[in-house]
Copies of this chain bind each other. A is one copy, B any other.
Amino acid sequence: MKINEERLLNRLYTLGKIGVNEEGKRTRLAADDAEKEGRDAVATWMMEAGLRVAVDKIGNLFGIWETEENKGKDPVMTGSHIDTVINAGQYDGCYGVLAGLEVIQSLKESGYKPARPMVVGAFTNEEGVRYSPDMLGSLVYAGGMTAKDACSIVGIDGTVLGEELKRIGYAGTEEPGFLTPSSFVELHIEQGPILDAEGISIGAVEDLQGISWQEITIEGSQNHAGTTPISYRRDAGVAAAKVITFMRERCLSSGGKTVSTTGCIAFEPNAINVIPSKAVFTVDVRNPNEDALKAEEKALADYLKELEKTDGVTVSTKRLSRFEPVLFSEKIVEKVEKSASAHGYSCRRITSGAGQDAQNLALMCPTAMIFIPSINGISHNPEEFSREEDLLNGANVLLDVLSELTEE
- Which A residues are closer than 8 A to B by beta carbons? 190-194, 197, 209, 211, 213, 222-232, 235, 237-238, 240-242, 244-245, 248, 251-252, 256, 259, 261-267, 269-276, 282, 284, 286, 320, 352-355, 377-381
Closest partner residue, chain B, to A268 (CB atom):
B263
Interface centre among A230, A231, A241 (most CB of B within 10 A): A241
Closest chain B CB from A327 CB (angstroms): 17
Contact of A259 with B229 in the complex, beta carbons under 8 Å: yes
Contact of B256 with A263 in the complex, beta carbons under 8 Å: no
Contact of B267 with A265 in the complex, beta carbons under 8 Å: yes
Closest partner residue, chain B, to A209 (CB atom):
B226
Q: In the complex where A192-B229, A353-B228 touch, is A378 in contact with B259 (Cβ < 8 A)?
A: no
Which B residues touch A226, using CB under 8 A?
Answer: 191-192, 209, 211, 259, 284, 286, 352-355
A263 touches which one: B194, B231, B237, B378 (CB < 8 A)? Answer: B237
Contact of A224 with B256 in the complex, beta carbons under 8 Å: no
Which B residues touch A240, using CB under 8 A?
Answer: 241
Contact of A225 with B259 in the complex, beta carbons under 8 Å: yes
A-B contact pairs, 17 of them (CB 8 A): A190-B227, A192-B229, A193-B232, A224-B380, A225-B263, A226-B284, A227-B354, A228-B377, A231-B256, A232-B377, A238-B262, A241-B244, A245-B245, A263-B267, A264-B270, A265-B266, A272-B320
Closest partner residue, chain B, to A270 (CB atom):
B264
Closest chain B CB from A108 CB (angstroms): 34
Which B residues touch A229, using CB under 8 A?
Answer: 192-194, 256, 259
Which 7 A-B pairs give the minimum distances between C-beta atoms? A192-B227, A227-B353, A226-B353, A241-B244, A225-B261, A241-B241, A272-B282
A245 touches which one: B193, B231, B241, B266 (CB < 8 A)? Answer: B241
Closest partner residue, chain B, to A355 (CB atom):
B226
How far does the alpha carbon of A333 sit from the alpha carbon of B261 in the complex, in Å? 52
12 more CB-based (< 8 A) A-B contacts, given A192-B228, A228-B353, A235-B248: A191-B224, A191-B226, A192-B229, A211-B226, A213-B273, A226-B259, A226-B352, A229-B259, A237-B263, A240-B241, A261-B274, A263-B276
How far does the alpha carbon of A238 sit from the alpha carbon of B259 in the complex, in Å? 12
Closest partner residue, chain B, to A211 (CB atom):
B226
Contact of A230 with B245 in the complex, beta carbons under 8 Å: no
Closest chain B CB from A307 CB (angstroms): 12
Q: In the complex where A226-B354, A232-B193, A259-B230 touch, is A213 in contact with B272 (Cβ < 8 A)?
A: yes
Which B residues touch A380, using CB under 8 A?
Answer: 224, 274
Which B residues touch A190, using CB under 8 A?
Answer: 227
Contact of B264 with A235 in the complex, beta carbons under 8 Å: no
Interface centre among A226, A238, A282 (most CB of B within 10 A): A226
Which B residues touch A197, using CB under 8 A?
Answer: 232
Contact of B241 with A261 in the complex, beta carbons under 8 Å: no
How far does the alpha carbon of A241 sit from the alpha carbon of B263 in the complex, in Å? 12
Q: In the complex where A230-B252, A230-B259 touch, is A224 in contact with B354 (Cβ < 8 A)?
A: yes
Which B residues touch A352, using CB under 8 A?
Answer: 226-227
Which B residues touch A211, using CB under 8 A?
Answer: 226
How far does the alpha carbon of A7 sit from the alpha carbon of B267 in the complex, in Å? 42
